[in-house]
Structure 1
Amino acid sequence: MVVSKTVFWRRLDTDGLERLSVVENEHGLRIDGTILTTEDGGCRVDHRWQLDPGWRVLDVAITRAGSDGDKTLRLWRTRDRWMVNGQPRPDLDGALEVDLSLTPFCNTLALRRLMAAGDGTLVLDVAYVDGATLDVLRSRQGYDRIADGLYRYRDLGIAPGFEAMLDVDESGFVVQYEGLFARAG
């Protein structure tokens, strides 16, 4: 059985819009997203993800076209190790997921883990991708379940002290990301 879903988000802090399509079958998920934003001089970011049936990132390819030129990035998982543009990145060993800064989709990956575990808190390391530069850094994040469909995101790495409330749907997709994103359409 194939399940598909399309989600749109708009930016709240600047002009921007994202279209994300999700196609799920027995082999896993294919995610395709396009982001248009005026942030950092304006850009278009296309991102394609391959996830396993448990929603773990296997491979992600990102292309950024902006006023500063085009950039590409590819990350993929080999067991618990990450490759970035064909090079091993031991500094990312053990990072559970990828977080592309320009999309609330990445929160879904962590939230689905937390929802499946039934726990109240999840702390995880991620391979954080800066959407402006496509630089990849290791970072730590925390998620706290406040109520059904309501979670607090805490940055414990790159931007320590940053917190935001996330309203999510039953699948873990963000409906409202405090101050940054809101579901459109």
Structure 2
Amino acid sequence: MATSRVITWEVSASNGLETAWAELGADALRTRGRAVGTSPQPYWISYELDTADGFVTRRLRVTAESADGVRTLELRHDGAGRWTANGERLPDVEGALDCDLGLCPLTNTMPVLRHGLHLSPGERKFLMAWVSVPDLTVLPSRQTYTHLGQGRVRFVSGDFRSDITFDGDGFVMDYPGMATRFGRS
């Protein structure tokens, strides 16, 4: 049976806020969220994320509004490692299991839950379909997640490194340099 959560973060990396409405099942996650940021420029984001078995991304739909106009992205994963963005193949991210929406702490949940990295020892390297905000460009991103202790995971991508605190359900509580969750929502 799925549990529902509403989580709000102060996103320091964007000088903004994000709220996600999440339904967490035993092996899948479904969310919708809204974010507002002022860096790198003022923007609004709306997204819907659906995963399949093993918390593998199936679909991410994003709408971004900024002074540059409105953009939409329909990012799809076929379950066999192939991705499309608005119907166009994305060979650079082939083999990735997850998306990573820029400036969004929610999308760190899928790989952590899949491998239980917030609960037990391990280190995993991933290729992600990273989505830049607010322009919604999809790029490959190599990322490493390492268990540091109960609820603590080190995230590394390129020169960026942060030790993230997760709750027992695998949702970000504190992501230094990125976001901090409000209250105990």
Which TM-score applies when normalising by structure 2?
0.91
In structure 1, the residue corresponding to 2:107 is in which secondary structure? helix
Give identity over the alignment, percent: 30
Matches within 5 A, 1:106-185: 106-115=107-116, 118-155=120-157, 160-185=158-183
1:93-147 Cα shifts (integer Å, max 9, x gaps): 1012100112011111121123179442010100010012111011100011111
Q: Given the superposition, is the C-alpha separation of residues 82 and 13 from structure 1 closer, same or farther in structure 2, using an over 3 Å criterion?
A: closer
Point out which structure has higher relative CO (alpha carbons under 8 A, 6+ apart): 2
How many pairs are equivalent? 181
- The equivalent of 2:59 in structure 1 is 59
Give the conservation status (yes or no) of the 8 Å contact 1:114–1:121. no
1:3-33 Cα shifts (integer Å, max 9, x gaps): 2111110022453111101124589432101
Q: CA RMSD in A?
A: 1.8
Q: Which runs of 5+ in 1 are unaligned?
A: none
In structure 2, the residue corresponding to 1:39 is in which secondary structure? coil
Q: Given the superposition, is the C-alpha separation of residues 149 and 60 from structure 1 closer, same or farther in structure 2, using an over 3 Å criterion?
A: same
In structure 1, the residue corresponding to 2:54 is in which secondary structure? coil
- The equivalent of 2:37 in structure 1 is 37
1:34-65 Cα shifts (integer Å, max 9, x gaps): 00111122110001011114211101100000
Q: Which runs of 5+ in 2 are unaligned?
A: none
Q: Counterparts of 1:12 and 1:88 in 2: how far apart (Å)?
A: 33
